[in-house]
Amino acid sequence: MRKAGWIPVDSQRTLSRLSTDLGIFRTIYCKQLSIPHFPDMVFPKNILTLTHTSGAKIHFDPLDALKHVASTADAIEVSCSEAWLEARPDASKPKRPFDWTFSTDYKGTLSDNIIVENTDEEINFEILKRKDQILFYHDLTLFEDELHDHGVSKLSVKVRVMPCYWYVLLRYFLRVDNVLVRSYETRMFHMLNTNYVLREFTSKESNAQDLKIPTSQMKEADDVIPFLPVKEKVTHKLIVESETKT
């Protein structure tokens, strides 16, 4: 499915987890990641790639996402993190601080020939609301952890291709029950016959007690994220280098 030079491809083959039956992936993850533990569910084969006819690529995969996990833990999360570690018989206390929530501000991986420029232009969400024909759609989970029944930490990516545009939503959602709710969302939007992709990154966060909504409404990301205050919002243009010379 090619749209304005871009071809979206998901390489989901199976919902295999990062476990002993995927030894080659586990070896790679252990070598490339500095965190002492991985999420309970990591899907190393779930990769979304958008390839431009010039060879430029935008892709989303769990390995690169986990490289963005911080090496420090917020004090507000420490009490629950102790329970998380105790629940794992093979888990020893890390010698260095460790963000047990696997929070990641990963925005996707760009090939070297993609130029990133600041912009004030925003995604036109009215276009996304139109009832256009969906030519291609997929929803991939990259990793997920239930934080030993203390909440959920999940990274997923969705792609939708329409007749005149394509749209990607990469979402990290964290809920630490009765403590914290956080989201990092990266949206990419490409309109047919334009030479750039808009990338919008939004960070939201709130203490659970500050949210004036029922606890039951905090379970699903779509229900609670609209109520979270925005901490950061940044928009960039992604331009394929070869197209700047035409």
Rounded CA-CA distance 246/243 in Å is 5
Contact 46, 142 (CB under 8 A): yes
> Across all residues in the chain, what is the average pLDDT?
84
Query: What pLDDT, on a 0 to 100 scale, did the predictor assign at position 93?
Result: 52
Residue whose pair of structure tokens reads 């256009």 in the numeric block:
132
Kindly indicate the confidence band of residue 75, based on its pLDDT and cuts at 50, 70 and 90: very low
Kindly indicate the confidence band of residue 4, based on its pLDDT and cuts at 50, 70 and 90: low
Question: Is residue 243 predicted with pLDDT exceeding 90?
Answer: no
Question: Is residue 56 predicted with pLDDT exceeding 50?
Answer: yes
Question: Is residue 3 predicted with pLDDT exceeding 60?
Answer: no
Which whole number is the average pLDDT over 116-130?
A: 95
pLDDT in tens, 182-232: 999 999 999 988 889 999 999 999 998 899 887 777 889 999 999 999 999
Query: What pLDDT, on a 0 to 100 scale, did the predictor assign at position 25?
Result: 83
Query: What pLDDT, on a 0 to 100 scale, did the predictor assign at position 89?
Result: 59
Rounded CA-CA distance 198/236 in Å is 6
Q: Which two tokens stand for residue 54?
A: 């010039």
Higher pLDDT, 82 or 220: 220
Contact 41, 144 (CB under 8 A): yes
Least confident of 3-7, 22-26, 148-152, 169-173: 3-7
Query: What pLDDT, on a 0 to 100 scale, did the predictor assign at position 88?
Result: 64
Kindly indicate the confidence band of residue 83, based on its pLDDT and cuts at 50, 70 and 90: low
Question: Is residue 16 predicted with pLDDT exceeding 60?
Answer: no
pLDDT in tens, 147-163: 888 889 999 999 999 99
Contact 58, 197 (CB under 8 A): yes
When computed from its CA atoms, the radius of gyration of the chain, rounded to whole angstroms, is 19
Query: What pLDDT, on a 0 to 100 scale, did the predictor assign at position 228?
Result: 96
Higher pLDDT, 178 or 88: 178
Higher pLDDT, 168 or 91: 168
184: left (phi > 0), else alpha (psi -120 to 50), else beta?
beta
